[in-house]
């Protein structure tokens, strides 16, 4: 298959409400969409980089620069049978996995559509629906948090992730567990703590959380291993796992007992699959994280989460949890705690090009 045309667009999508984590707050998302066209097929990928370099050093603007200056000119006109044939376009580019993933995932969609099968079956998925939860940002008051949690439980989310930071942790979570004793809660610190906070982390350990996600620095495998040695609650790594080598390091050191896999964070679906396979081999449970994606990124996440090792509910919520209107049809909906895996060709949802055009603020074609 020859790639006839490559397009990158930045679209602005307004979140229904701001999403605050320990390192900052997102209001509107600046989403990059990559389109590959080949023999009448249009394939889609999304870049998950944030607006600021808080979660990762990558941003919408660094990804735009790497993609438009270096990667996309090499993709246009190239011949590929699968995403593996794409590796040469990343040569000489260290890092920037979120920029690379946007193209890599579009190539998977292209291959699946060319073969006429679903992306989920092409990546090795075995499930027709995936268990999902919801991730709730920091709220100004406990009352507000209780109201939100109550609403999401009513909508059918079976597992609820709460963002924490120093000062908004033990008391807040204890109140929540008392109020909703039957709900499976977990906490995500986005690297807001250090081992100096051990007394506080030990208190969190008493709350029977299903896991504590990324308590310590993004590059601190050693202290995560020390902390896991002190804690009953499983530690889950998110920011720390950028590749299968990071996952191998975490396994070797005992730095966590669970891994959050986001294909956009690790350079695409091939690396995500490799991390999944390594974790399955070592009996390490994994789940699929989220980055406030549009329906395009969500479709890729759902396909990945249909692999057998994804035994824990993902941060893959319904379209309407994020957006008034999503850019795919049908939108993703929650069905008693699960989201169905689309079975149509490729990502299995149609992209609403009318909305993409209307919301686009810049575009380059190659
Ligand atoms: O740490 O998992 C995270 C969103 C943006 C950046 C980092 C994270 C998140 C989430 C949201 O928790 C998950 C979702 O997309 O629902
Ligand atoms: Mg996280």
| Catalytic residue (one of 161, 165, 262, 273) | 262
The angle, 0 to 180 degrees and rounded to 10, between the axes of the packed helices 97-115 and 295-305 is 70
Rounded Cα distance between 258 and 238, Å, is 9
pLDDT at 277: 98
Rounded Cα distance between 277 and 182, Å, is 32
Look up residue 92 and give its two tokens: 């000489």
Name the residues around ion ligand 2, CB cutoff 5 A: 188, 213, 238
Cα of 355 to ligand 2 centre, how many Å?
Answer: 29
Cα–Cα distances in Å, from 13 out to 27, 295, 322, 326? Answer: 9, 11, 10, 9
Selection from 317, 316, 314, 299 nearest residue 258 by Cα: 314
Rounded Cα distance between 207 and 195, Å, is 19
Cα of 289 to ligand 1 centre, how many Å?
Answer: 7
pLDDT at 330: 98
Look up residue 171 and give its two tokens: 């008391």
Contact criterion met (CB below 8 Å) for 220 and 193: no
pLDDT at 82: 87
pLDDT at 81: 87
Would you call 262 a catalytic residue per the annotation? yes
Instruction: Classify 192 as helix, strand or coil.
Output: coil
Over residues 126-134, the mean pLDDT reads: 97
pLDDT in tens, 5-47: 999 999 999 999 999 999 999 999 999 999 999 999 999 999 9
Mention every residue, 6+ apart, whose C-beta is less than 8 A from residue 251: 278, 279, 282, 284
Q: Would you list the DSSP string of 31-83?
A: EEEEEEEETTEEEEEEE--BSSTTSSS-BHHHHHHHIIIIIHHHHTT-B-SSG
Kindly report the protein residue whose alpha carbon is nearest to atom 9 of ligand 1. 291
DSSP secondary structure code for residue 331 in this structure: P
As a whole number of Å, the end-to-end CA separation of the chain is 16
Q: Does 215 have pLDDT greater than 90?
A: yes
Cα–Cα distances in Å, from 30 out to 36, 37, 60, 61, 90? Answer: 20, 23, 7, 9, 23
Instruction: Classify 363 as helix, strand or coil.
Output: strand
Q: Which of 48-57, 83-92, 290-299, 354-363 has the lowest mean pLDDT?
A: 83-92
Instruction: Classify 258 as helix, strand or coil.
Output: strand
Residue 344: φ, ψ to 5°: -70, 175
Per the prediction, the chain carries an average pLDDT of 97
pLDDT in tens, 59-105: 999 999 999 999 999 999 999 988 888 889 999 999 999 999 999 99
Which CATH class for the 5-116+351-365 domain? alpha beta
pLDDT in tens, 235-287: 999 999 999 999 999 999 999 999 999 999 999 999 999 999 999 999 999 99
Dmax (CA) for the chain in angstroms is: 60
| Catalytic residue (one of 100, 161, 163, 165) | 163
What residues are paired with 21 via a beta bridge?
24
Domain boundaries, the chain: 5-116+351-365, 121-349
Q: Does 119 have pLDDT greater than 90?
A: yes
Rounded Cα distance between 82 and 85, Å, is 6
Cα of 169 to ligand 1 centre, how many Å?
Answer: 18
Would you call 324 a catalytic residue per the annotation? no
Pick among 1.10.1740.10, 3.20.20.120, 3.90.870.40, 3.20.20.150: CATH of 121-349: 3.20.20.120
Looking at the chain, the number of H-run helices and the number of E-run strands are: 13, 15
- Ligand 1 site, CB within 6 A: 21, 55, 135, 188, 190, 238, 289-292, 315, 317
Cα of 4 to ligand 1 centre, how many Å?
Answer: 34
Which secondary structure element, helix H or strand E, spans residue 361, and what is its range? Answer: strand 360-365
pLDDT at 158: 82
pLDDT at 87: 87
Rounded Cα distance between 77 and 220, Å, is 41
């Amino acid at each position: 298959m020859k790639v006839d045309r490559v397009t990158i667009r930045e679209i602005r999508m307004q979140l229904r409400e701001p999403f605050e984590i320990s390192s900052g707050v997102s209001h509107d998302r600046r989403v990059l969409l990559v389109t590959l066209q080949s023999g009448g097929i249009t394939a889609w990928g999304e870049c998950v980089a944030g607006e600021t370099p808080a979660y990762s050093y990558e941003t919408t603007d660094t990804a735009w620069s790497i993609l438009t200056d270096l990667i996309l000119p090499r993709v246009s006109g190239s011949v590929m049978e699968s995403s593996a044939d794409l590796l040469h376009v990343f040569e000489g580019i260290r890092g920037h996995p979120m920029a690379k993933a946007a193209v890599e995932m579009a190539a998977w969609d292209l291959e699946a559509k060319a073969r006429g099968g679903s992306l989920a079956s092409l990546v090795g998925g075995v499930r027709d629906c995936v268990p999902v939860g919801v991730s709730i940002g920091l709220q100004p008051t406990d009352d507000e948090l209780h109201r939100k949690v109550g609403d999401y439980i009513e909508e059918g989310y079976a597992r609820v992730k709460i963002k924490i930071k120093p000062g908004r942790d033990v008391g807040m979570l204890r109140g929540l567990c008392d109020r909703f004793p039957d709900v499976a809660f977990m906490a995500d610190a986005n690297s807001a703590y250090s081992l100096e906070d051990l007394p506080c982390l030990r208190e969190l350990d008493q709350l029977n959380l299903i896991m504590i996600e990324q308590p310590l620095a993004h590059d601190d495998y050693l202290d995560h291993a020390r902390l896991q040695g002190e804690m009953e609650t499983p530690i889950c790594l998110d920011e720390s796992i950028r590749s299968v080598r990071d996952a191998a390091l975490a396994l070797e050191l005992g730095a966590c007992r669970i891994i959050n896999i986001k294909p956009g964070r690790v350079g695409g679906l091939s690396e995500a699959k490799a991390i999944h396979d390594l974790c399955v081999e070592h009996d390490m449970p994994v789940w699929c994280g989220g980055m406030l994606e549009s329906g395009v990124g969500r479709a890729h996440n759902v396909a990945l989460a249909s692999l057998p090792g994804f035994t824990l509910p993902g941060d893959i919520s319904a379209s309407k949890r994020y957006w008034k209107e999503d850019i795919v049809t049908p939108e993703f909906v929650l069905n008693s705690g699960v989201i169905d895996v689309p079975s149509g060709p490729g990502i299995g949802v149609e992209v609403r090009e009318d909305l993409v055009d209307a919301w686009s603020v810049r575009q380059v074609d190659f």
